Amino acid sequence: MPSPSRISMLEAMMLIRAHEEKLATIAGQSPGTCTAVGQEAAAVGAVTALQPRDRILTNHRSAGHLLARGADPGRLMAEVMGRATGYCKGKSGSLHVSARELGVVLTSTIVGGELSLATGVALAQKMGGAGTEPGGITTVFFGDGAACEGIFHESLNLAVTWQLPVLYICENNQWQAFVRRDETMPHEHVRPWAEGHGLPALTVDGNDVETVHAATLAAAEQVRRTGKPYFLELNTYRTRGHFEPDDQSYVPPAELARWKARDPIALQRDRLLASGQLGHGEYAHIEHRVAALVEAAFSYAQTSPWPDLRELTTDVYA
């Protein structure tokens, strides 16, 4: 599977940002959503390093993972707005999206819920279960808040004991809903907990898309080669509130400003402009293309029909 270009990764991050900011502006017109604005490099760098045969489980900040995986922005926005044309016929909203055709098994709004299921998916892969492909691995995304749940330790323990092909990716975004990470954890990183369970582990700059991509490629290859779990921690920051709308009044202004100065999109844009791989005109063209795509997605979602009442009890159980 060819690696994405440096410019395509920039455009993917810009699409995710524009998509989530659009949803934030219409929070009063549709169910609220949890955005991951500021974390785009983590999503794009990691997801684009995976293979089509891999399976993904994610959390309530899933839009970036889904779009980086190739989700249609219109169908994704329709799902968030509860329309019948969404990925789950409008039943999941933003918090429970699954997309079988993309290999996205589930989105869990239960903090750490995806961790409890990742080992089962990986076991199915190891046993060659139906719907799996040889060499596929399971990648599970979660935050530092989920790492403070007991299920985190249970999941890692089981993956190590059964030697399961799980790539654990912790997006350490410094905030657990409305609570600072350092109020709930004794140290800065989650990595030592993973190492304590016997997993090889690495912490990298989660705001540098190229660093994330390279680290995920190497980690996924190790899981694929050994059949054993690996832990990757992406140090990043969520620059919008926990849930839309949220004024972030609980966040120290200086801290927010410091992280905004390390915006992952600006970092990649400036890197490409400085190297001459991207011109200002081309960047403006990308901005225009992304804006048009998001507006088209919103129009598609807004004009899509509501689910029929007869759909209420369909697809409840597989």
Tell me: the pLDDT tens digits for 57-74?
Answer: 999 889 999 999 999 999
Residue numbers of the domain that contains 129: 6-300
Decide if 308 is inside a domain. no
The CB-side HSE value for 311 (13 A sphere, CA atoms) comes to: 13
Decide if 305 is inside a domain. no
Q: How confident is the model at residue 318 (pLDDT cuts 50, 70, 90)?
A: low
Q: How confident is the model at residue 175 (pLDDT cuts 50, 70, 90)?
A: confident
| CATH at 47 | 3.40.50.970
Phi first, then psi, for residue 236 (nearest 5°) are -145, -165
Q: Which of 255, 233, 281, 266 has the alpha carbon at shortest distance from 40?
A: 266
The stretch 26-35 carries a mean pLDDT of 73
- Residue 108 · residue 147 · CB < 8 Å: no
Decide if 316 is inside a domain. no
What integer best gives the mean pLDDT of the chain?
A: 91
User: What local confidence, expressed as pLDDT, does residue 28 receive?
Assistant: 66
How far is it, in rounded angstroms, from Cα 107 to Cα 193? 24
Please give the tally of structural domains in the chain: 1
Decide if 270 is inside a domain. yes
Greater model confidence, 36 or 142: 142
Decide if 82 is inside a domain. yes
Residue 209, sorted as left (phi over 0), alpha (psi -120 to 50) or beta, turns out to be alpha
Decide if 312 is inside a domain. no
Greater model confidence, 1 or 37: 37
Q: Which range among 29-43, 80-94, 128-142, 301-315 shows the weakest confidence by mean pLDDT?
A: 29-43
Decide if 315 is inside a domain. no
Give, to the nearest 10 degrees, the angle between helix 280-303 and helix 6-25.
40
Within 10 Å of residue 10's Cβ, how many Cβ atoms? 26
Tell me: the pLDDT tens digits for 230-256?
Answer: 999 999 988 887 777 778 888 889 988
Burial class (CB in 10 A: 0-12, 13-18, 19+), 214: middle
